[in-house]
Amino acid sequence: MSLPETVNAEWIDNRDALQAWLAVLPADAAIGLDTEFMRRNTFYPQLALLQLGWNGRYALIDPLAFEIGDALQPLLGDGPAVTVMHSASEDLETLAPLLPNGPGHLFDTQIAAAFAGMGLGISYRALVAELVGGIELDKGETRSDWLQRPLTASQCTYAALDVVYLKTIHEQLSERLQQRDRTAWHAEDCERLKRRASHRDGDPQPQAAMRGAAEWPAAQQALLRRLLLWRDRSARRLDVPRPWLMDDALALSLAQQPPAVLGDLEQRSRGQRALRSAQRSELFDLLAPAVSADEIAATSGIPGHPQGEAKKALAAMKQLIDTLAMELDLPPGLLCPRKALEEYVVTAEWPEFLDGWRRDVLHDRLPGLLPG
């Protein structure tokens, strides 16, 4: 499998070649990394290709041809090397079997661009166009089949180009972060991203996202949590998407009105693609026991939408965030997403997202705006 000479990436399909490619890199290298993965009918993303770049050397690593194992860990996980990635959250999840705690030192270029005044959520293509001489990347292979073999020349070129420009982007954004004194803030947000990706046991309070159930009695909210935890465990065990077992609408319906007989559950759950008879029986048995006091105590209340005075407080907080973001030359959504503000104004509990540097900026200002 070959690439145009202008890209000159090495196709690696065995562990010895991978280790040889990695061996010449200095311990403190800044290494560009990207992945191609598929997630059409599985819970876990399927790693289909791993791209690496350093100092004009590029590698396309085929994880379908050999077991990569822990080959990346000594350099990227344990050492002082910097791993440069763009919008890394899904890639980190995909790489979790290879780098369980993520790269030792992550530099996310999308986050860096936000701190550098280039907007929130900028794409790699837009970043390349802005910082690398106006180059326009072709994104025609974005949705292609990365599990097919052999990959086409177009796929290989597309994949390689995803790391070719990371060196230049990293250097320019690092300089801009230093000029703005935002290097530490960026590093903190990259660490937060790594922690979130490494939490592979699922959300212990999944019902909190179901705002439509905010006014439910505590016992019903606890039953909803029981259902959603079962869905998460089962989806992981069977390696299927969560909604294939039980979509949100069915979960809400079953928590509100549990089926009296198995036939009722079978009727109501038609169309759930991965809910077979064994899972239906398991789900029916799960719904049968009454909710205990311990379950209720273990269930966090579902925050509702701000109403009345809380809604007024939210508007005041949003105005404050906009003002502070302008003073700091940051996107308001980077400083404090609306979701975090809504959570705070409804629960009056300081959101975890606003810890760290955000607490230093906001903690003396926001509490005074809470509704009395």
**Residues 47 and 69 placed together within one structural domain of the fold:** yes
Residues 6 or more apart in contact with residue 280 via CB below 8 angstroms: 262, 265, 266, 269
What integer is the mean pLDDT of 126-152? 88
pLDDT at 136: 86
Is 163 a domain residue? yes
Of 266, 298, 330, which closes a domain? 298
What integer is the mean pLDDT of 23-33? 97
Residue 133: pLDDT band with limits 50, 70, 90: confident
Residue 6: pLDDT band with limits 50, 70, 90: low
**Residues 133 and 79 placed together within one structural domain of the fold:** yes
What integer is the mean pLDDT of 161-188? 97
pLDDT at 176: 98
The radius of gyration of the chain from alpha carbons, rounded to an integer in Å, stands at 24
Of 198, 230, 257, which closes a domain? 198
Tokens 């809470």 map to which residue? 370
Are 167 and 84 in contact by the 8 Å Cβ rule? The answer is yes
**Residues 121 and 264 placed together within one structural domain of the fold:** no
User: Which phi and psi (to 5°) does residue 85 adopt?
Assistant: -135, 160
Residue 143: pLDDT band with limits 50, 70, 90: confident
Is 91 a domain residue? yes
Is 72 a domain residue? yes
Position 3 pLDDT exceeds 70: no
**Residues 294 and 327 placed together within one structural domain of the fold:** no
Residue 4: pLDDT band with limits 50, 70, 90: very low
> pLDDT > 90: what percent of the chain?
90
pLDDT of 350-360, one tens digit each? 999 999 999 99
CA 232 – CA 357 distance, rounded (Å)? 32
Give the global pTM.
0.92
Is 329 a domain residue? yes
CA 225 – CA 292 distance, rounded (Å)? 13
Per-chain mean pLDDT for the chain: 94
pLDDT at 372: 78
**Residues 138 and 192 placed together within one structural domain of the fold:** yes
Give how many domains the chain has, as a whole number: 3
Are 55 and 167 in contact by the 8 Å Cβ rule? The answer is yes
Is 50 a domain residue? yes
CA 50 – CA 260 distance, rounded (Å)? 50
pLDDT at 139: 76
pLDDT of 49-102, one tens digit each? 999 999 999 999 999 999 998 999 999 999 999 999 999 999 999 999 999 999
**Which CATH number characterizes residue 109's domain?**
3.30.420.10
pLDDT at 197: 84
What integer is the mean pLDDT of 32-48? 95
Residue type, 187: A
Is 135 a domain residue? yes
pLDDT of 289-303, one tens digit each? 999 999 999 999 999
Residue 5: pLDDT band with limits 50, 70, 90: very low
Tokens 């966090």 map to which residue? 300
Pairing of strands 82-85, 106-108: parallel
Are 339 and 345 in contact by the 8 Å Cβ rule? The answer is no
**Residues 146 and 259 placed together within one structural domain of the fold:** no
What integer is the mean pLDDT of 270-288? 96
Of 166, 198, 230, which closes a domain? 198
**Residues 67 and 173 placed together within one structural domain of the fold:** yes
Lowest-confidence range among 136-145, 285-294, 319-328? 136-145
Position 140 pLDDT exceeds 80: no
**Residues 356 and 212 placed together within one structural domain of the fold:** no
Are 68 and 98 in contact by the 8 Å Cβ rule? The answer is yes
**Residues 141 and 34 placed together within one structural domain of the fold:** yes
CA 156 – CA 159 distance, rounded (Å)? 5
Position 36 pLDDT exceeds 60: yes
- Its sign, for the CA torsion 71, 77, 82, 88, is positive
**Residues 362 and 273 placed together within one structural domain of the fold:** no
Instruction: Give the angle subtended at the CA of 95 by the CAs of 93 and 100, to the nearest 5°.
Output: 85
Are 92 and 193 in contact by the 8 Å Cβ rule? The answer is yes
Position 185 pLDDT exceeds 60: yes
pLDDT of 206-254, one tens digit each? 999 999 999 999 999 999 999 999 999 999 999 999 999 999 999 999 9
**Which CATH number characterizes residue 261's domain?**
1.10.150.80
Its domain, for residue 274, covers: 206-298
**Residues 71 and 145 placed together within one structural domain of the fold:** yes
Is 107 a domain residue? yes
Is 274 a domain residue? yes
Position 347 pLDDT exceeds 80: yes
**Residues 60 and 189 placed together within one structural domain of the fold:** yes
CA 223 – CA 229 distance, rounded (Å)? 10
Tokens 């949003």 map to which residue? 318
